[in-house]
């Protein structure tokens, strides 16, 4: 970054302004360094765990919707009364859930 203060006639006000600009520049550089180091440590330490937990959560969500609304696929598990009570909470999930449940699966899907 090009310094704005170089080559000027120094005055007290200008020196304060230049020192503030340099301080601001150093704090932004330091904060970017901290963010980058946090992201690297996150990737090294817990990224895989977060992905695994997200997959488990998705599996439990699929199971819940299958038990609640299995009759949409022809699996009558729960009486319709309870399904209708849960319907407002599950409506946003139904289209994606049906697509995922009826999708063909491969051996590689289980690995990754």
For the chain, list residues with pLDDT below 50: 1-2
For 68, other C-beta atoms within 10 Å of its C-beta total 20
CA distance 74 to 94: 15
Give the pTM.
0.49
Quick one: pLDDT at residue 8? 56
Quick one: pLDDT at residue 1? 46
Domain layout of the chain by residue ranges: 9-45, 49-111
């Amino acid at each position: 970054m090009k310094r704005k203060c170089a080559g000027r006639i120094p005055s007290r006000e200008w020196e304060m302004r230049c020192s503030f600009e340099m301080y601001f520049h150093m704090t932004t550089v330091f904060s970017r360094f901290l963010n980058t180091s946090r992201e690297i440590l996150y990737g090294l330490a817990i990224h895989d765990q977060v992905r695994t937990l997200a997959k488990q959560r998705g599996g439990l969500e699929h199971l819940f919707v299958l038990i609640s609304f299995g009759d949409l696929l022809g699996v009558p598990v729960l009486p319709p009364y309870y399904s209708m009570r849960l319907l407002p909470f599950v409506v946003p999930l139904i289209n994606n859930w049906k697509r995922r449940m009826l999708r063909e699966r491969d051996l590689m899907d289980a690995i990754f």
